[in-house]
Amino acid sequence: MTDTVRFARAARDARMALHRIRPLPAPAVESWPPALPAARRSGLQSWLTDPGSLTRRLRQGSTRFELRLLRQGAGRALRDEYPLLGLPHGRKVWRRDVLLIADGVPRVLGHSVCVLGSLRGPWRLLRHLGVKPVGDAVFTRPQTGRTALRVARLQRRGALRRLAQAASGRQAASLWARRSAFVFGGQALWVSEVFFPPTA
């Protein structure tokens, strides 16, 4: 790694540390249980309950980090996300699915959704993310709030589990995920992250 690359990464990390995310309560319609005590049964508690940037943590703990963009644009939310967004089932939303890969190994599936109209307002920067992580955007914006982390063990036939396994090509007896909303300008961006178990 060159000094220029190291300096660029350090500068980026410093920018990401500038703003503290305001904690917000989870909405009443959130069906996933609170992060604790649920995460204690997962073997991934430190990942599931870490309030910081997941992307930043993966970058710091690996020599090679890659974000693979699977889809981005108008699409359908998952069934249990519509109440969170305050939308009727089947309405199109902005959706983004990515695979986070550290040292050649798929580690996390990231799934984000928000109301399409918010891309013309508070979340317009999402239209220009490209292969940049969502975390690089939300953790550098002042006045951003974040709802309490919720954690769930994904159901074997659940849509989010199927999406994660298809994207990674990895099968697992148990998959855990966390989700929360980043709120800016009164609009919520819901982010779910599915964690793949460590490889042997």
pTM score, whole prediction: 0.88
> What are φ and ψ of residue 158, in 5° steps?
-70, 150
Distances (CA, A) of 176 to 34, 194, 200: 13, 6, 18
Contact between 40 and 118 (Cβ < 8 Å) = no
User: Where does the pLDDT of residue 182 fall: very low under 50, low under 70, confident under 90, or very high at 90 and above?
Assistant: very high
Q: What is the pLDDT of residues 18-50, one digit of tens each?
A: 446 888 999 999 999 999 999 999 999 999 999
- DSSP class of residue 97 equals E
What's at 82, amino acid-wise? Y
Q: What is the model's pLDDT at position 91? A: 97
At 59-87, the pLDDT tens digits run: 998 999 999 999 999 999 999 999 999 99
Q: Are 97 and 163 in contact (CB under 8 A)?
A: yes
For domain 3-195, the CATH class is: alpha beta
Q: What is the mean pLDDT of residues 147-159?
A: 93
pLDDT reading at 13 higher than 60: no
